[in-house]
Each structure stands twice: as C-alpha cells, then as structure tokens.
C-alpha cells in the first residue's frame, strides 16, 4: 500500500470515537487492532492531526481562543491554559470551554465535532 493510499484509507475509515480523542490512544488502537508500527504510526499521527484534532481545527469557527495564564503562588510560577470565548466576558476553564464548544458546534450543524467534543469532555471529566 503506498502512503497516499494508506492515508486515504485512514481518512475514510470510521474508528470508534473513544479511540480518536487523543493521538496516543489512536496510535495504540491502530497498533493493537491492525498491527501498525513505525512509519505507519507516523502517518496515522498526521491523519489524526488533520481529521480528529477537533479542538484546534474548530477553535476559530467556534469563537474559542486558548491562552496561557502565568501567575505566582507563594513565589512559585504556575501556568494554566484558559479559554477566551467570543461574546462571553473573561477567561474560562477547560470544562466550561467544552460546554460552549459543544453548544456552538450543534448550532453550526457540526454534529461530528459536537459528538467528538462530548466524548472528549466525558473522557476528561466523567460527564
């Protein structure tokens, strides 16, 4: 199978959504289910970035911007990711960002993205 054919197959295939939430999980799944290794997993990483990295892919369309917040607590520097949501005041945490993203994806009829976001939220927060 040439690389182009392999990439096209990966893009066409419907994998369980739980296996596409994280690139490492996706690669592990492909290694266990199909015996992929080495360069095949590298190609799979690229396909995952294009097809399944929903957050980065849809952030602009959903009006979400990630930013790093740096602050000191008792002299120790901490860094956390916060999210600016277009039309909403302030910065939001990751769990609340998922709620906005799911709602906005559904409003824009991006059902595949909404399903992926729901599964990712459930994986991270159990709900």
Q: Do 19 and 32 reside in the same domain of the chain? A: yes
Q: Do 87 and 117 reside in the same domain of the chain? A: yes
What is the domain count for the chain?
2
Q: Do 78 and 111 reside in the same domain of the chain? A: yes
Q: Do 70 and 40 reside in the same domain of the chain? A: no
Q: Do 46 and 79 reside in the same domain of the chain? A: no
Q: How far apart are CA 29 and CA 36, in angstroms?
A: 9
The whole domain housing 39 covers: 3-52
Q: Do 43 and 90 reside in the same domain of the chain? A: no
End-to-end CA distance of the chain: 40
pTM above threshold 0.75: no
Q: Do 68 and 47 reside in the same domain of the chain? A: no
pLDDT in tens, 38-87: 888 988 888 888 777 777 778 889 999 988 899 899 999 988 889 999 99
Q: Do 81 and 26 reside in the same domain of the chain? A: no
């Amino acid at each position: 199978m040439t690389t182009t054919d392999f990439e096209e197959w990966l893009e066409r295939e419907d994998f369980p959504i739980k296996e596409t939430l994280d690139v490492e999980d996706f690669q592990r799944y492909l290694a266990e289910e199909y015996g992929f290794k080495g360069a095949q997993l590298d190609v799979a990483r690229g396909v995952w970035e294009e097809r399944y990295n929903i957050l980065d892919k849809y952030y602009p369309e959903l009006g979400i911007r990630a930013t790093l917040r740096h602050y000191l607590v008792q002299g120790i520097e901490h860094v956390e990711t916060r999210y600016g949501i277009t039309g909403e005041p302030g910065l939001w945490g990751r769990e609340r960002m998922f709620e906005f993203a799911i709602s906005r994806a559904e409003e824009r009829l991006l059902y595949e993205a909404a399903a992926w976001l729901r599964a990712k939220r459930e994986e991270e927060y159990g709900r």
